[in-house]
Amino acid sequence: MLNRRTILAAPFVLYATRLPAQEVNPPNGSLAESLNGAERLRALKAVIVSRDGETLAERGYHGHSPAESTNIKSASKSIVSALVGIAISKGLLEGVEQPIAPILKADLPDSPDPRLLRVTVGNLLSMQTGMDPLSGPNYGRFVASRNWVRFALAQEFVEDPGGSMLYSTASTHLLSAILTRVGKKPTLALAQEWLEPLDGFRIGSWARDRQGIYLGGNQMAMTTRSLHTFGELYRRGGRTAEGVQLVPEAWVRTSWEQRTNSRYSGDGYGYGWFLKRIGEADVRFAWGYGGQMLYIIPELQMTVTMTSEEGAPSAANGYRDRLHDLLAAIIQSQRSA
């Protein structure tokens, strides 16, 4: 069990000002070829590649810029996971085995399913609550409800907690509600306090529910550079470039331990991170709707960030797989460098 010992917005508005496409440290050789070839991906907005903390390439596509704010969608689930790890290290949460019901007691159904009392913080992080998921076709019902937390807690169980992965944005929204309760501050304020000492990291606008709880795991705006900066924090084991430990290193490791698999892609899943072999390397990645990707390749000390137009799905139409292919080409360019 992981425990303490071991480890700006109102409604969501995205100010997506387009800036001139730009590139830092224009790459040569096969990396340049890979990035040039990515021009054919019409939804692609920006790519940043770094290795050992050095920026190898930073490119905007189709009139976009890495400095432009974008909705990172479900890639924000990895950020919520980081906040949970910090909360555990500060003693605000007991650990991943802590039941959520006592924290959210005021929002429980009048006669809850007994299994709800067994759901833990870890179950929310790994999408293993057993409750009917509120993503995909069910997401609209979730965000149209009067109280998102109560609506999430009232869902029927389709299996026992700890079973298969049932991907649900409601799970990370419950984590946001939990952080708000135990931290006695809005989740955005906690993120600003705990993560924004990281130079270059800033959350822009972020949606909230009718009770003022920030939407855990969706509708968060930041620049591609800011998302990349968060990825670099994890690549360094939770430390800033100056060596300040913001996220416990033990939490970074445990977040990347496989706990279940996606029923759709077969990819592994830890605590807010997907796990997959890409380009003959073990990759940990955050993934948001439309193709908001944050890849970390520990064996090569690489971080690769890709942002895309957020209006269309990326899995069903094969676009996410083409981004994986682009990553594989980038990885190969570094193996042969």
Pick the CATH number of 23-335 from 3.40.710.10, 3.40.50.1400, 3.40.1180.10, 3.30.830.10: 3.40.710.10
pLDDT in tens, 254-294: 999 999 999 999 999 999 999 999 999 999 999 999 999 99
* Predicted local distance difference test score (pLDDT) of residue 14: 43
Res 243: pLDDT: 97
Q: Give CA separation, 64 vs 15, 61, 110, 145, 201, in Å.
A: 13, 5, 50, 35, 19
pLDDT band at 12; cut points 50, 70, 90: very low
What 3-state DSSP class applies to 197?
A: coil
pLDDT tens, position by position, 212-249: 999 999 999 999 999 999 999 999 999 999 999 999 99
Listed in sequence order, the residues at least 6 apart from 127 whose beta carbon sits closer than 8 Å to its beta carbon are 133, 165, 166, 167, 168, 171, 260, 269
Q: What does the pLDDT look like over 85-122, one tens digit per residue?
A: 999 999 999 999 999 999 999 999 999 999 999 999 99
The residues with which 292 forms a beta bridge, in sequence order, are 288
pLDDT at position 24 over 70: no
Return the closest-CA partner of residue 53 out of 192, 307, 242.
Answer: 242
User: Against a cut of 0.85, is the pTM above it?
Assistant: yes
| More reliable by pLDDT, 29 or 96 | 96
pLDDT of res. 179: 99
Q: Is 92 helix (H, G, I), strand (E, B) or coil?
A: coil
Q: Which residue has the higher pLDDT, 136 or 15?
A: 136
Query: What sections of the chain are H helices per DSSP?
Result: 29-37, 76-89, 121-125, 139-144, 148-153, 169-183, 187-194, 224-235, 249-255, 319-335
Indicate whether 4 pLDDT > 50: no
Q: What is the pLDDT of residue 25?
A: 55
What is the rounded distance in angstroms from the CA atom of residue 197 to the CA atom of residue 46? 24
Q: Is the pLDDT of residue 19 over 60?
A: no
Long-range interactions of 202-207: CB distance < 8 A, separation 24+: 202/226, 203/8, 203/79, 204/8, 204/9, 204/14, 204/15, 204/69, 205/8, 205/9, 205/12, 205/13, 205/14, 205/15, 205/69, 206/8, 206/9, 206/12, 207/9, 207/11, 207/12
Q: Is the dihedral of CA 279, 258, 132, 154 positive or negative?
A: negative
Predicted local confidence at residue 11, as pLDDT = 37
In contact, 34 and 48? CB cutoff 8 Å: no
What's the maximum distance between 2 C-alpha atoms anywhere in the chain?
64
Q: Is the pLDDT of residue 324 over 60?
A: yes
φ/ψ of 303, rounded to 5, equals -130, 130
Q: Give the mean pLDDT of 6-29.
A: 47
Phi/psi for 208 (5° steps) reads: -130, 155
Place 7 in a pLDDT band, splitting at 50, 70 and 90: very low
As a whole number, mean pLDDT of residues 141-164 equals 98
As a whole number, the mean pLDDT across the chain is 93
3-state secondary structure of 118: helix
Residue 150: per-residue pLDDT: 99
Per-residue model confidence (pLDDT) at position 312: 78
Given a contact cutoff of 8 angstroms between Cβ atoms, the answer to whether 255 and 85 are in contact is yes
Domain extent listing, the chain: 23-335
